[in-house]
Amino acid sequence: MILGLAAATLVAACSGDTAQEPKKQAKAAALQAGEYEYTDKVDELRSTDNTAPATALKVAAAGEAPPTARICVGADGALDPKIFAEKGDKCTSTGSYMSGGRLSFQFNCTRPGKGGLSQLVDGKFTTDSFEATVTSSTYFSGPGDYTLTRTLAGRRVGDCPAQPSAAQ
């Protein structure tokens, strides 16, 4: 009994406040300005009208690396919404939020010759990286309607390239 009491006393003494808890990392208010390289991976593409989806985006084959691109983030620390749209789409923001390490955007877009689509973007970011899931749904005037889910992930790779100066 005495040995048990001594062992309990030692355990209690060793489990005091001397152990340090991991520090919580502060949530980012915005991305750091600079150039970011990001991947754009199509996770799922599904026809909603039983026709070929009217998109240039495709689900990558197994083992195929997703395409990469680069963007510049300005001093305001915000992502350019154009990275979420397909080439030629004209999009209008219907809501956006980017603070405290979370990001959320909503867009209504039109595609020339086809009609409309909506996009919902949900993700997280730190001062030098971001990851977002983009869900798109179309409501075209003709065939080709689809739903699409993609994952964008990026990281800061340096400063933005200098813009060429105007000819003198």
What pLDDT, in 10s, does the model give residues 41-94? 999 999 999 999 999 999 988 889 999 999 999 999 988 888 999 999 999 989
Contacts of 48 (CB under 8 A, 6+ apart): 137, 138, 145, 146, 147
Residue with tokens 């915000």: 78
Q: Could you give the dihedral angle defined by the CA atoms of residues 29, 120, 43 and 69, in that order, rounded to the nearest 10 degrees?
A: -50
pLDDT tens-digit series, residues 108-156? 999 999 999 999 999 999 999 999 999 999 999 999 999 999 999 999 9
pLDDT tens-digit series, residues 156-165? 999 998 876 6
- Tell me the domain boundaries of the chain: 27-158
- Report how far Cα 122 is from the mean position of its chain's Cα atoms: 7
In single-letter form, the type of residue at position 11 comes to: V
